[in-house]
Structure 1
Amino acid sequence: MLIPVIMAGGNGSRLWPMSRHSTPKQFLSLTGDDSLLQQTIERLRPLQHGSPIIVTNSEHRFLVAEQLREISVTAHDIILEPVSRNTAPAVALAAIAAKRETDPVLLVLAADHHFENPAALIEAINKGMQLAEQGLMVTFGIKPTRPETGFGYIHRGEALSEAGHRIDRFVEKPDLATATDYVSSGNYLWNSGMFMFRASRYLEELQKHHPEILTACEQAIGSATRDLDFVRLDHDLFAASPDDSIDYAVMEKTDAAAVVELDAGWSDVGSWQALWEVNEKDENDNVCQGDVITVDSHGSFISAQHRLVTTLGVQDLIVVETKDAVLVADKGQSQNVKAIVDQLKSAQRSEYITHPHVPRPWGEFDTIDSGDRYQVKRITVNPGQRLSLQLHYHRAEHWIVVSGTARVVCGDKEQILTENQSTYIPLGVKHSLENPGKVPLELIEVQSGNYLGEDDIVRFEDMYGRCPP
């Protein structure tokens, strides 16, 4: 039995402003109609495998669940990390959960990678399966296409079979001269961060080389609770785990490491330049997305999300327009976008955290306008969904129904509103909103008060498990 383990964490910094802390790149449609997470799962369909295990954080749980629903996939588990502890503990959680029933081979994948040739990936996975079933700890090494200083490398050792090689050593990100030597030698591969092994073998190696991680993860899984589709871990028990990657904690220490070479047009989509490389280009080597007009422009990535973007006489630029931010960068500097995100985070700006358009388990909202002591949102509630019973201490709200039907509870009063009808929610009064109809409910919400943050919500009842214990 093969079970995919999809690592769906991330902080949304490398492809800002399109990705944000609340919506990292794995949840975005960057190289096709599906998100990177959905593509990761879809490309495994030629394999015989069990339901995937997704490891993510609590903030992104409904994004994961909704994107799985959209492609008709049911997860084995969606494990929610209460705090980030890197990949070694994350994989341990999945291995412990998977081994409760059988002892499957785990295929550990990042949720945000891209492959030009999925068939070659499937071929490599089948080779890795042969080695993993022999008890080896397998990783996949990417055949280099250029000297690259942004990746770690794997030095291949002796051949084990036609399937792969032993690993002689892992090496850190090199300087350009060293990377050039690595590629010229033909014996080095890029470290992809993809792995394959039996669940029991991973736990054995973790016990041998980093038992503190295993102990913390066993205790966290042992005390976990189920909530809808999610496995919730105890914060303190999981936080006790050391923060370490699977490379450092296990793969660089084990004597059973093997590598399968992979030549499948792989990209970690780790920068705007990388995204430019994997997307289709026009006759001037530009990647244009959205409403874009270019004149005498070459080698650029230009994305318009909400309005017309034009360029004139530019070359090798990154231009990304979203509703609330614009990035203009030299393509060669796109690896340094995190420096901008760090400044936004330090200044506590909302553009670091979220987009004006925010998905919610019940639907979505879009911030239309805001100013001193007011904010206007367009809210969509999906059929049969309901917002929590809640109150606000710092703001009052006016709701105007644009289309659909709303069931509104405000204090001890319940009413049905339809198109062009409105209601007022006073400050400090318990209220809820439900769509009892068969079509989406759309309304305009006008907030007024001295504080309009999303954290001014006290929940009393919630069908999505968001009330505090």
Structure 2
Amino acid sequence: MKILPVILSGGAGSRLWPLSRQSAAKQFLALSGDRTMIQDTAARTTGEEFLPPVFICNASHVDLIKDQIDNYGAIIIEPEGRNTGPCAMIAALHGLSLGPDTLVLLAPADHVIDRPEAFLDALRAAAPIAAAGHHVTFGIMPDHAATGFGYIQQGAPLSNGLYEIASFQEKPDEATARDYLASGNYHWNSGIFLLNPSLVIEEMLSLASECSDPARKSYQDAERDGKVIALDPVAFARCKPEPVDIALMERTSKGAVLPCDLGWKDVGSFSAYYELHADGDAPVIKGDGYAHASPNSLIDTDGPLVALVGVENVGVIVRDGRVLVVNLDASQDVKKIVTQLKAENRTDKL
């Protein structure tokens, strides 16, 4: 049994604009250490248990992947973004083409996992359950009542520390999140899955045909040039844009969750970026910056001096002449600026 890492790299990281831009999306940036996030993701899935990683990305990311990843199995090009449901189908088809005993690890390229050995242990525990006929997801054991993540409710126990999935829950309000935390039966949805390709193909064709049928056609009719596979754009455009959580996991009766503590972080906003580097309430400063009496603040500048005085919970980001000033509590709304720039056709700023 081998595990094929399929790394999803289609996102633009719009909530991290202008740090993350079309020419350098967040997964290609070193946000948590010396390596970029996509390099870290690939590095924790190497070894005798793994096949070389496959990347699903848009055309503009192909050269970045080639520059940053030394050994890869394939690069699969999405003609357009259609969410992660079609990606799961494509990943299953490609995994099955490599052998009937292959398992597919579907993982975003932009997550931080501080405990890679615990991640490997989790994969080893989950592999027999996935091989036996379950779609396995990894539930992050919550340490606070987060309202920015979806939750998974665990059901009846299976084996190896895994449970049936009782339900998926959308991002809750604060009171509901506190109830989830107190119950001990709810876990953050990591968006990481270990899948049996044959089972995925069978169930997605049954449960989500509007998403999976065109995805299968786009893979069958793809243009192949060495390790680069360009999905057929006409077929792919017909894919219903659904996340794998809805297309498969919420509809199947064969879902399983493994609660685990991986040191997992989803760096999806500037508040999360601040927390990734925070030491108490001291300001986080990257580049030429000063902060006086400005707790819980963030400076990240590529040149111009930035100084903060007497403010709190503020982020100032400077990249290539673009300046963002944001209340970190509202950092999820940065994508609205990106949407406005797109609407005004100011793509040179993206």
TM-score (norm 2): 0.95
Question: What amino acid sits opposite 2:140 in the alignment?
Answer: I
**Distance (Å, rounded) in 2 between the aligned partners of 1:62 and 1:80:** 12
1:11 aligned residue: 12
2:98 aligned residue: 101
| 1:262 CA displacement | 1.8
1:155 aligned residue: 153
Residue 257 in 1 paired to residue 261 in 2?
no
- Give unpaired runs (5+ residues) of structure 2: none
Do the aligned partners of 1:130 and 1:163 also contact (CA within 8 Å) in 2?
no
2:202 aligned residue: 204
Question: What amino acid sits opposite 1:318 in the alignment?
Answer: G
What does the per-residue CA deviation read over 1:275-333, in whole Å, with 9 as the maximum and x for residues that have no partner? 1111253x752211112222233211111212322222222211111121111111111
**Aligned equivalent of 1:346, options 323, 343, 348:** 343
What does the per-residue CA deviation read over 1:429-469, in whole Å, with 9 as the maximum and x for residues that have no partner? xxxxxxxxxxxxxxxxxxxxxxxxxxxxxxxxxxxxxxxxx
1:27 aligned residue: 28
**Aligned equivalent of 2:89, options 56, 68, 92:** 92
Residue 332 in 1 paired to residue 329 in 2?
yes
**Aligned equivalent of 1:322, options 319, 322, 337:** 319
2:116 aligned residue: 118
**Runs of 4+ residues over 4 Å off in structure 1:** none
| 1:47 CA displacement | 6.0
**Distance (Å, rounded) in 2 between the aligned partners of 1:351 and 1:322:** 13
Do the aligned partners of 2:46 and 2:52 also contact (CA within 8 Å) in 1?
no
The structure, 1 or 2, with the larger RCO (C-alpha pairs under 8 Å, 6+ apart) is 2
Do the aligned partners of 2:78 and 2:230 also contact (CA within 8 Å) in 1?
yes
Question: What amino acid sits opposite 1:60 in the alignment?
Answer: H
**Aligned equivalent of 1:293, options 290, 293, 302:** 290
What does the per-residue CA deviation read over 1:2-23, in whole Å, with 9 as the maximum and x for residues that have no partner? 1001000113311011111332
**Distance (Å, rounded) in 1 between the aligned partners of 2:214 and 2:165:** 29
Residue 41 in 1 paired to residue 38 in 2?
no
- From the two aligned structures, give the one with the greater strand fraction: 1
**Distance (Å, rounded) in 2 between the aligned partners of 1:249 and 1:47:** 32
**SS in structure 2 at match of 1:340:** helix
**Distance (Å, rounded) in 2 between the aligned partners of 1:33 and 1:47:** 25
Residue 166 in 1 paired to residue 167 in 2?
no
Do the aligned partners of 2:301 and 2:318 also contact (CA within 8 Å) in 1?
yes
| 1:90 CA displacement | 0.9
Residue 57 in 1 paired to residue 58 in 2?
yes
Do the aligned partners of 2:126 and 2:160 also contact (CA within 8 Å) in 1?
no
Count of residue pairs brought into register by the alignment:
348
Do the aligned partners of 2:13 and 2:268 also contact (CA within 8 Å) in 1?
no
- From the two aligned structures, give the one with the greater helix fraction: 2
**SS in structure 1 at match of 2:198:** helix
**Distance (Å, rounded) in 2 between the aligned partners of 1:163 and 1:107:** 18
Structural mapping, 1:381-400, within 5 Å: none
| 1:228 CA displacement | 5.1
**Distance (Å, rounded) in 2 between the aligned partners of 1:215 and 1:342:** 30
**Distance (Å, rounded) in 1 between the aligned partners of 2:9 and 2:234:** 21
Question: What amino acid sits opposite 2:96 in the alignment?
Answer: K
TM-score (norm 1): 0.71
Structural mapping, 1:267-282, within 5 Å: 267-281=265-279
What does the per-residue CA deviation read over 1:398-429, in whole Å, with 9 as the maximum and x for residues that have no partner? xxxxxxxxxxxxxxxxxxxxxxxxxxxxxxxx
**SS in structure 2 at match of 1:14:** helix
CA gap 1:258/1:338 in 2 versus in 1, 3 angstroms: same
Do the aligned partners of 1:149 and 1:179 also contact (CA within 8 Å) in 2?
yes
| 1:211 CA displacement | 2.4
What does the per-residue CA deviation read over 1:166-211, in whole Å, with 9 as the maximum and x for residues that have no partner? 1111111212111111111111011111100111111111122112
Percentage of identical aligned residues? 39
What does the per-residue CA deviation read over 1:79-120, in whole Å, with 9 as the maximum and x for residues that have no partner? 001011111111211211221230210011000001222222
